Chains A and B, each alone.
Chain A
Amino acid sequence: SQKIEQNSEALNIQEGKTATLTCNYTNYSPAYLQWYRQDPGRGPVFLLLIRENEKEKRKERLKVTFDTTLKQSLFHITASQPADSATYLCALPRSGGSYIPTFGRGTSLIVHP
């Protein structure tokens, strides 16, 4: 069956460091992968989309890599700030020709001042 795995344990880091979050998937051949940010009790907010033919994408302090051989995406936040504390979700389209995204359960990031 298709699975999207994100680390369920919270990631605690110090302000200024680089946070790296992982999204692994099995039984998918996704045309793209998305990352979202979710604050407690709020709706997820889209951050980045990376396509299967792109190895890396950047947006300000955010960087996403996509390794279709390893079936893994890494999400980096450089120079992290306490305001970056949130849950980060990855999403992939379901297989079988559908573009409807399925979400991982997310990883909580806590940036300490």
Chain B
Amino acid sequence: EAQVTQNPRYLITVTGKKLTVTCSQNMNHEYMSWYRQDPGLGLRQIYYSMNVEVTDKGDVPEGYKVSRKEKRNFPLILESPSPNQTSLYFCASSFSGLPTGELFFGEGSRLTVL
């Protein structure tokens, strides 16, 4: 089954404790991206990757890091989480580096930073 898998789905952590949210896709997609979704603000892009070893900032990259060492994986790293990073996070992927096609989203990771 074609899917984008995120882990963990739910996480409560404390300020400053490094965490990683993993994202994996099994569709051989070149393009992958991370979004955060907050009430009233919609989906905002954090980082994206056009292919292996190619990453770039989205609209709200501050406080986040990403890496793309393998095509299928695109982890999101919060080096020192803060309460304003409490949000619902989505990973997405698409067929090509030029995603005129559909974006496939993961089920989301709800993060709470205390």
Chain A contact residues, CB within 8 Å of chain B: 31-32, 34, 36, 41-46, 49, 89, 91, 93, 99-106
Distance, CA A32 to CA B100, complexed state (A): 7
Chain B contact residues, CB within 8 Å of chain A: 4, 33, 35, 40-43, 45, 48, 88, 90, 92, 98-108, 110
**Given A34-B102, A36-B103: 16 more A-B contacts, CB < 8 Å:** A41-B108, A42-B107, A43-B4, A43-B92, A43-B105, A44-B105, A49-B100, A49-B102, A89-B42, A93-B100, A99-B98, A99-B99, A100-B45, A101-B99, A104-B42, A105-B40
Q: Chain A nearest CB: distance from B93 CB in Å?
A: 11
Q: Does A49 lie within 8 Å of B103, measured CB to CB?
A: no
Distance, CA A42 to CA B104, complexed state (A): 12
Number of A-B residue pairs with CB-CB distance less than 8 Å in the complex they form: 50
Q: Chain A nearest CB: distance from B9 CB in Å?
A: 10
9 shortest interchain CB distances as A-B pairs: A43-B105, A46-B102, A105-B42, A103-B43, A99-B98, A44-B105, A43-B90, A43-B106, A43-B107
Q: Does B100 lie within 8 Å of A99, measured CB to CB?
A: yes
From B102, which residue of chain A is reached at the shortest CB distance? A46
A103: B residues at CB distance < 8 A: 35, 42-43
Decide: A46 near B88, CB < 8 A? Known: A100-B48, A103-B43, A105-B42. Answer: no
Interface CB pairs A-B, < 8 A, 26: A31-B100, A34-B102, A34-B103, A41-B88, A41-B110, A42-B107, A42-B108, A43-B4, A43-B90, A44-B43, A44-B90, A45-B105, A46-B102, A46-B103, A49-B100, A49-B101, A89-B42, A91-B103, A99-B98, A99-B100, A100-B33, A100-B45, A100-B48, A101-B99, A103-B42, A105-B40
From B59, which residue of chain A is reached at the shortest CB distance? A102
A102: B residues at CB distance < 8 A: 45
